[in-house]
Amino acid sequence: MDVQLELLINAVVAGLLLGGFYAAVTAGVSISFGMLDIVNIAHPAFIILGSYVAYIVNIQFGVDPIVISIVMLPAFYLLGTAIYQIYYQSFERRGQESLRGLAFFFGLLFVTEVTLILTFGVDYRYVEASYIGPSLHLGSIDFPLRMLVPCVTALIMFGALQLFVTRSFTGRAIMAVSQDQLALQLMAADPIRIKRIAFGISIATTAIAGALLIIIQPVEPSVGREYIGRVFAICVLGGLGSLPGTLIAAMLLGVMESITATFYGPSWAPAVSFGFLLLTLAFRPAGLFGR
Amino acid sequence: MNTIKFTLICLLVGAAVFVGGHLFGVGYLFFAGYTILQFVVLASAWNILGGYCGYVNFGSAAFFGLGAYTTVFFYKFFPLPIPLLIVIAAIVCGVVGFGMGYLTLRLRGAFFAIATLAMAVVLQTLVVNWDYVGGSRGAYIVRDEMIPIFGYSIEYIEYLFLLMMAVSIIAIVISRTIARTQLGFGFASIRDDELAAEATGVPTLRLKLIATTLSGALMGMAGAPFPYYIGYLQPASAFGLEYGVNSIAMPIIGGTTSWVGPLVGALLLGSLQQIATVTISSAVNLLIVGLLLVAFVVIAPNGLVGLVQERLKAWRRK
């Protein structure tokens, strides 16, 4: 096979795997920003928090990071509901969410990051699991398990979320609250409670996303910053609040970044996602798949 | 008090601070003072868009870094005196601010905020990949020990301090003038209810573009002398999110509705950070900024100025 073509195919496959992981990272933002209109700019900081939780338990007890993240889901859910409560009481109820709410999350981002730096230092941390080293080979195409396992986990999580929001009563109520809060209230559902649950779920996804992140790459506290633009780019591209749209956008971005990194060098990869976000915002703010 | 009188008072205060510091004779004071003044400029500039219009800009670092790298570019290409570089940086960043605003300001506020954050990363990546200005290795700027002005020879850091003092006076005067003219009322109407403003004939897009251009230009002016101050500039330090969080935290802690808030916030928080950096560590000083920002938006939404105003009102009622 042609070397260039082989390189391209490998880049596309790597991009799809990366995209699956990006989808897991973005799922929470799709819920909080897309459905609830809460601009949680601190989302990546919680992902890093998830990474560190996975790291500590993994190093201490040798438990698989993904198992740890599933066990930690309720804790992150409670953290999310608590943050929403503060956010609602201080900003949403007073109608000040635009400026001060943004500043609040921005501050939260720094507090989380610096606290992690002060506790763990800026050394890169990594976890140990049996699937981190080896790769599957399919002809000349590589499937590193380090990427494949996170991608599959992300897809399962996405499937579960999609089933939840389309089939369960609470899930449908979350979709409804993003469309018409008053109408939901008339159906005798408390929009604040629904939003609290939804925000809790959005933060809960960071436990899993964090564990996946530390499987894919070593993590230090400020790694999260690279993901701020990426998650919002994917979320906007996917048409705000649509989970299938988010998945497709994440894959698209993963492939573009991977191709850029392969053919032009990794130092250009961040500009791809952010540049794409700027272009999307400028020319197609409803997203690629928006109505 | 009209603008000319106000400017004169600012100049007098600035001169007094400089002469006082010079007589005191500790070089470090100028070193720390420069940083604090730089934050006065950044905070005032952020406030023109964020406080007056209600549009959050996370990308202060983008404009600051762009200003700094304009200087690096000219240092390599054709060295110019710093005051001229400040003017050039203002033009470059003003144009970028205008373009940025034109692309994103038709959208809701949150999109603008995210786009500004994205811009900081795009610019940083461009600079990292641009070898002429040093790329990711960074660039060294060699400055003289002393510089002659008006027949006197003064230390370079004092010269930089003077320049930054001038820039911050410009920023404060602009920010105060805006708040007192029709422009300021237009901005306030956008902040309070953009739809209503539009409906009553306020040219909202044009006003917002004026705000982004002015705000961007001022941030660039704050960045232009920075390479000479720091001596060695690398992309990560010029585009650091620290500038973003500081230029948001300072106006919010001080109070966003007037020109006094950013000044008070920058002076207080800037000094506090200098003390924390020297006595504890620079990581702790970011933690302090973050915690104060969160605490103030939750507890005192109108900042220190708001707190004082409430006290005054309560006191008058007695």
For B130-152, how does the pLDDT look when each residue is reduced to its tens digit (9 = 90+)? 888 877 788 888 777 777 777 67
A62: left (phi over 0), alpha (psi -120 to 50) or beta: left
- Nearest chain A CA: its distance from B122 CA (Å): 5
- Architecture per CATH, domain B19-317, reads as Orthogonal Bundle (1.10)
Residue B22 confidence (pLDDT): 78
Q: Which residues of chain A have pLDDT under 50?
A: none
The complex's ipTM?
A: 0.79
Residue B216 confidence (pLDDT): 93
CB of B127 within 8 A of CB of B65?
yes
Asked if A39 lies within 8 A of B113 by C-beta distance, the reply is yes
CB of B102 within 8 A of CB of B216?
no
Instruction: State if pTM tops 0.95.
Output: no
On whether residue A289 sits in a domain, the answer given is no
Task: Name every chain A residue with its beta carbon within 8 A of the beta carbon of B246.
Answer: none
- Nearest chain B CA: its distance from A119 CA (Å): 11
What b-and-e string marks burial along A23-51, b requiring 16 or more CB atoms within 10 Å of the CB?
bbbbbbbbbbbbbbbbbbbbbbbbbbbbb
On whether residue A186 sits in a domain, the answer given is yes
3-class state of residue A136 by DSSP:
strand
On whether residue A72 sits in a domain, the answer given is yes
Asked if A107 lies within 8 A of B56 by C-beta distance, the reply is no
On whether residue A124 sits in a domain, the answer given is yes
- Asked if the model's pLDDT at residue B63 lies above 90, the reply is yes
Residue A277 confidence (pLDDT): 75
Domain residue extents for chain B:
19-317
d(CA B250, CA A65): 40
Structure tokens at A56: 């500590």
Asked if A228 lies within 8 A of B117 by C-beta distance, the reply is yes
Q: What is the pLDDT of residues B193-224, one digit of tens each?
A: 888 888 888 888 899 999 999 999 999 999 99
| Dihedral pair phi/psi, residue A85, rounded to 5° | -60, -45
Q: What is the mean pLDDT of residues B239-260?
A: 86
The residue among A99, A104, A276 with the most chain B CBs within 10 A of its CB, best to mutate, is: A99
Domain that holds residue A187: 3-283
Confidence band (pLDDT; 50, 70, 90) for B296? confident
Report the mean per-residue pLDDT for chain B: 86
Number of domains comprising chain A: 1
What percentage of residues in chain B have a pLDDT greater than 70? 99
- Nearest chain B CA: its distance from A66 CA (Å): 30
What percentage of residues in chain B have a pLDDT greater than 90? 23
On whether residue A238 sits in a domain, the answer given is yes
Q: Taking CB atoms and an 8 Å cut-off, how many pairs form between chains A and B?
A: 129
Q: What is the pLDDT of residues B77-132, one digit of tens each?
A: 888 888 899 999 999 999 999 988 887 777 666 778 877 877 887 888 888 888 88
Confidence band (pLDDT; 50, 70, 90) for B46? very high
On whether residue A268 sits in a domain, the answer given is yes
User: Which residues are paired to A142 by β-bridges?
Assistant: A137
Question: Scanning every residue of chain B, which has its alpha carbon at the shortest distance from the alpha carbon of A287?
Answer: B111
